[in-house]
Structure 1
């Protein structure tokens, strides 16, 4: 009863919408990569729906549980870089072997969380470097707003105008107004075709795992490294940039490991801290009071659960949205986060060079050995920070 009373007092429509927008952006922008990954692993239509069921249930329960427990918007997502890695692999594997790899990765994530290793690593990263990494990752989402404007002048133009006007009069509800106007427009212009969408319950499919040492090394270890460097590290940066630097990360990482272990046999290939979608839920757009933004995490959890329970219908709906709408919505929702991250990245003079270099590498999108620019930007930034400290000590001695 106390929990329900607190939820009622803390509830806000802006946080509810932030959760929905986060799920919409997450699914609509990356579900195609998940489909490719599933097909690479040999999934048929039934298994494809099972993957979406597992991902929705895992993200939903984890996000809701963590957000309610810590009273912070802790958003759990699938590993998009991980899905891309699976989809692009040249290694032949069966679904059973893929599940074996996912279980291995889940165990490694759990051990990393329980040991506290990842938490200690993330605390060693200066806030300006983490903020610069986040700004670099999010920059392209802001730029995509205007590339979408070029191809859909009317739709995106009206969304942009709605955002500017709403920010002046009802800043907390700006994204809600943008979403409403966008949906009305695509319905009126016939760009949202829902006639082929059928509402049916998902049917999870259990797969007995098979383990192959070569696959665990050749695919499992890269999948683990990509998830930790390209998803969890930026996820921590989002929390720090949004004022949640005191959050204990180890239990959160442990929960993602447990979720992966439990749901891998059904297609839940890898869970981790969200970055892009988390930035939507942790921003001032969700709520001006940082203590009440956890409602956005609960909201995202509920909508993720719905995507799992009604996987086939939800996937059809998300795919039906015009790509330009999703790109514009994400760009508008992240404007405040990008600005705040850039401010935090450059406010400490001694870290400015390192932060700018980190930002540029992350924004470039460059990758080596299937490891994303977020990792390499962080490596370069930390190298500059450590070198500066060593040089300062040598000068003093």
Structure 2
């Protein structure tokens, strides 16, 4: 009598895991590719990076869900990829970016080992962290509209599809826009090359340039912790699960250190997509929803071989179309970050300054605006707290 409900719950969990992986991959891989190319990766290196993060986050989902019997979903750092997309090529080139990835991984491991460090990061005012992310995202989110002015025939179908699906089926808005972008690329894009579409890892020795370490490594760590890991814990707890943060940080840190030279820039606990695997859509039996996490991981691993194909297609796309898909994929994140940055009246001025500095493109001593935005916001916050009342 109990077999049928159990089987039904399992099938719902499997379906939820598949949806989680497909939505997670298709809605933001364009952001990942844009970010890797922005910091100096060539086409092969970007494909390698996309492949290794797909595998490591997939294996993370499988291992953590099985060990903890919790629907744990691991994802690439979309805020981190957006941070990379808004950065310039480091002075040390792609090797410098790779060094920053490794440093971020070491910081994840350090956070897992030293509990107070994670608590300190969690104490960064939400307004400051959100403002930094919103400022970085602003330049990416306006790209679809700049591209629309340059090539309306290519970009308009993507934006219209996104808007219609946003109204009718929000979850599939970005994947739908991506599908239409694929049609546009097939019609108006450059011919695909004749090279192999099988994934191949490209290895680059890290260059630990101190400026890049601060500009990218530290910023990547902070934006991933505040924008993904900490919210990811909150999402799981909202469904009654205890998030295995230390285990997740250990996995993310070790994976990033080991695969950073192959382009593995950062993975973390999933935040938004985590709700698909941990919520009621994964079945009524909460004790069986871990199956959704395992299934999500399997699908991510199966999607990894597509990295070369999607990178090749992206390279053949008309100017602006991949940036447009990345931009609409980040609009929701931008909206929530901007709202969080300015909604707290006690931190509003500091949040506004942080946002403006991050969006300004200010670069000093070779260090990116994301870092200086945190510094500026912190200075304003401390100054206002010290003012005479």
Fold in common (TM above 0.5): yes
**Deviations 1:203-262 (CA, angstroms, capped at 9, x unpaired):** x5889x8x9xxx7xxx25545434443212112332356854976755444323311443
1:272 aligns with one of 249, 266, 272? 266
The offset of 1:146, in angstroms, is 0.8
Distance change in 2, residues 1:270/1:223 (3 Å): farther
Q: Find 2:344's aligned residue among 330, 341, 348.
A: 348
Structure 2 vs 1, CA of residues 186 and 102 (structure 1 numbering), >3 Å: closer, same or farther? Answer: closer
| CA pair 347-138 structure 1, distance change in 2 beyond 3 A | same
Say whether residues 1:376 and 2:372 are aligned partners: yes
Does the alignment pair 1:282 with 2:268?
Answer: no
Matched residues in 2 for 1:233 and 1:100: separation?
Answer: 16
Counterparts of 1:159 and 1:32 in 2: how far apart (Å)? 22
Q: How does 1:248-327 map to 2 (within 5 A)?
A: 250-263=246-259, 267-268=261-262, 271-273=265-267, 282=272, 302-303=299-300, 306-307=303-304, 309=305, 312-327=308-323
After the TM superposition, which residues 123-134 of structure 1 pair with which residues of structure 2 at under 5 Å, given as runs? 123-134=122-133
**1:77-226 pair list within 5 angstroms:** 88-89=91-92, 107=106, 109-116=108-115, 118-187=117-186, 189-191=187-189, 193-194=191-192, 196-200=194-198, 202=200, 219=208, 221-226=210-215
Name the SS of the counterpart of 1:88 in structure 2: coil
Is contact 1:82-1:226 (8 Å) kept?
A: no
- Cα drift, residue 355 of structure 1: 0.8
CA shift at 1:66, angstroms?
Answer: 5.5
Conserved? CA contact 1:135–1:342, under 8 Å:
yes
Tell me the SS of whatever aligns to 1:282: coil
Give the superposition deviation at 1:118: 4.0
In the alignment, structure 1 residue 23 sits paired with structure 2 residue 23:
no
Q: Deviation per CA, 1:109-147, whole angstroms, max 9, x where unpaired? A: 533442235412311111222221221111112111111
Structure 1 residue 320: Cα displacement: 2.6
**1:230 paired to 2:219:** yes
Equivalenced residue count is 363
Are positions 1:76 and 2:76 aligned together? yes
Once the two structures are overlaid, the 10-residue window that deviates more, 148-157 or 221-230, is 221-230
Q: Tell me the distance in 2 between the aligned counterparts of 1:371 and 1:337.
A: 24
Task: Say whether the 8 Å CA contact 2:62–2:293 is kept in structure 1.
Answer: no
Please tell me whether the aligned partners of residues 71 and 291 of structure 1 are also in contact (alpha carbons under 8 angstroms). no
Q: TM-score, normalised by structure 2?
A: 0.72
